[in-house]
Amino acid sequence: LKNTQVVLCPPYVYLPKVVSTKNSNISFGAQNAHGEERGSFTGEVSPVMLKELGIKYIILGHSERRAIGETDEIIAKKVNMALELGIHPILCVGEKEHDTQGVYLDTLKTQIKNSLDKVPKKLINELIIAYEPVWAIGAKEPMTTGVINEMVIFIKKVISDMYGQENGKSTPILYGGSVSFRNAQDIIENGGVNGLLVGRESINPQGFVELLKVVDSVK
């Protein structure tokens, strides 16, 4: 790969096995983390532990985590903790329904603002946002690239209002939702995104390799 940075986020138990892989194009992340450095939290994994492993990224606020009860407030605490430790949070946001009245825009705006509560301006450039509309996850086709582009512009506007225009422009935006090697090029070229949050295709080795090749070929 010449133009593509890959971040692989396997389950916790596999992280020690893969994190020693030496490849300048590949970094490793975790699928979640707890919001406290240490304490009596049986079954949880703290971001401090992940940092000690050499983890550079953490996916936070994934739709599947939100579905089991994680609130914006919980996610905000995790985002702040990751940033304080020098780990890049990949903050997932996305509406459950793309209604015709535009309520989904208010939902998304509130989600972003609450999930970034108390994040200082000096650290916002360490953040990555992954837009994953819940209704598009697992669908036969992703959101159309025109609508993806509109949503990217909207997200950057929200960030600009919170942290200034330059930070709004520079914050990387990923798209997730039925991404495959068949549609990756169109999404990258016409969706206005900086990358992809890959779900099902990431556990299909052949399809994932093809997706990486396609993305890497985009000029």
Catalytic residues: 62, 132
Alpha carbon 154 to its chain's center? 16
132 Ramachandran zone, left/alpha/beta (phi>0; psi -120 to 50): beta
Task: Identify each DSSP E strand in 2-135 by its residue range.
Answer: 6-8, 26-30, 57-60, 88-93, 128-131
Question: CA 8, CA 57: separation in Å to the nearest integer?
Answer: 9
Asked if 48 and 4 count as a contact pair (C-beta separation under 8 A), the reply is: no
- For 118-131, give one letter per residue: b (16+ CB within 10 A) or e: ebeeebbeebbbbb
Cβ contacts of 51 within 8 Å, gap of 6 or more: 85, 86, 87
Q: What are phi and psi of 147, to 5 degrees?
A: -75, -40
Asked if 51 and 30 count as a contact pair (C-beta separation under 8 A), the reply is: no
